[in-house]
Structure 1
Amino acid sequence: MSDRKPRADAARNREAVLAAADTLFATCESPEAVTMADIAAAAGVGKATLFRGFGDRTGLIHALYETRLAPIRLAAEEGPPPLGPATPPLERVPALLDAVLRFKIDNRHLALALEGIGSDSPYQAEHYERWHSTLREALEKVPGLPDGDFTAHALLAAVRADLVEHLIGGQRMTRDQMRAQLAGFVARVLDSPASRD
């Protein structure tokens, strides 16, 4: 019984921390304003618990991001259409990018925090590599598309958190407008002369 209590407490604390961090990032003016002390206070745990569970602020942001992204990633890797691997590539590519865009819009400050962490390159992050690989594999099935690897990078650049924040937070583009713009852009890329030659 004594072995179970710490595990249950640790799981409860982890959930409380992730929920508190989620709320703070969702309501903050700027992701940099959210501190470990703020998260610990909102979760009702000590800072030592926070650091023990996540290592540091970067570790906590990664854990929260992965938790939020997991259902979309699972749908993309194993799910049915339109995201799943059995979907024809000309339908799957736009669906994947739309799912990433909607996630970034719904989690703008969290995505900004993750992509803006220290010297970490967002292109070396595990989640980026996974999305790039999934998208590249789908693009390589598009007849005549010359370079799935570069095209995947270029399309993912269109859903970077800083661009989403600029267009939605700064330019006041609506969610529907941005989704429509992205869909049109993806359609043009997939129907480019190079992919028809």
Structure 2
Amino acid sequence: MSERKQRADATRNREAVLAAADALFARSESPRSVSMDEIAAAAGVGKGTLFRRFGDRTGLIQALYEARVQPLREAVESGPAPLGPSTPPLERVPALLDAMLRFKMDNRHLSMALEEAGSGSPYAAGHYTRWHSDLEEMLRQIPATATTAGFTAHALLAATRADLVEHLLGEQQMTPEQVRQGLAGHIARVLGDHGND
């Protein structure tokens, strides 16, 4: 088999696995209930292929998350307003948090799976530290939040956690717009409180 054919097969298998995992997470009551065996069978690949490609279940979840979140990361790193770097921090902070919240509402099953993956601290996970770093940098550019930027970034990110989103939309039966309005009000109060320091 040619190297080109092997690469094409590997790419096709990777996409099949990601699609199968995404569909199974969406249909499951809890992402933890989906096994690697089920994902491999749904994707039409061997379990060995799954482990070679992604390492373990957490690696698979992270790969799926990264594929989905990449457009948002690109918008934050180099995109236009309101998320891009040319936007003033006081406008960019609420825009970033709203975009993260909308992403988690649109990808509830995946976001829950990512937050539940692994046994270490969620605050040490790569996806969390990147968002925290971005947000902290923005908050440091606002004079009133410069000295509390690290803690304030953690506090604001807590309001976008997938388990909270799931609780608000599921148990509390809030609409997505109500959740977004609640977050916007919270951000305004946090930044407003800092502005009065």
Whether the TM-score (by the shorter chain) exceeds 0.5 is yes
- Equivalent pair of 1:75/1:84 in contact (CA under 8 Å): yes
Aligned partners of 2:134, 2:118: CA distance in 1, in Å? 26
- Residue pairs, 1:28-47, within 5 angstroms: 28-47=28-47
Which residue is equivalent to 2:22?
A: 22
Gaps of 5+ in 1: none
Distance 2:75 2:10 in 1: 28
CA–CA distance in 2 between the matches of 1:4 and 1:26?
Answer: 33
Instruction: Find the counterpart in structure 2 of residue 188 from structure 1.
Output: 189
Preserved contact between residue 115 and residue 121 of structure 1 (Cα < 8 Å):
no
TM-score (norm 2): 0.95
Which position in structure 2 is the counterpart of 1:147? Answer: 148
Query: Which structure is higher in helix share?
Result: 2
Report the equivalent of 1:123: 123
Measure how far apart 1:173 and its partner are. Answer: 1.1
Structure 1 segment 81-120 matched on structure 2, within 5 A: 81-120=81-120
Q: Indicate conservation of the 8 Å contact 1:132/1:153, yes or no.
A: yes
> How many aligned residue pairs are there?
196
Partner of 2:174: 173
1:159 aligns with 2:160: yes
Q: Secondary structure at the match of 1:120?
A: coil
Percent identical among aligned pairs is 69
Q: How big is the shift at 1:161?
A: 1.0
Query: Is 1:25–1:34's contact at 8 Å kept on the other side of the alignment?
Result: yes
Q: List alignment gaps of at least 5 residues for structure 2.
A: none
* Contact 1:93/1:138 (8 A) holds in 2: yes
Note the alpha carbon deviations across 1:98-141, whole angstroms, 9 max, x for none: 01111111111211111112312211111111100111111111
Query: RMSD of aligned C-alpha atoms?
Result: 1.2
**Cα deviation, residue 24, structure 1:** 1.4
Separation of aligned partners in 2, 1:167 and 1:100: 15
- Structure 1: 4+ residue segments shifted above 2 A: 194-197
Q: Check whether the contact 1:62–1:114 (CA below 8 A) recurs between aligned residues.
A: yes
- Structure 1 distance, partners of 2:172, 2:38, is 30
TM-score of the two chains, using structure 1 as the length reference: 0.95
Pair 1:70 & 2:57 matched: no
> Given that residues 61 and 114 in structure 1 are in contact (C-alpha distance below 8 angstroms), is that contact kept between their aligned partners in structure 2?
yes
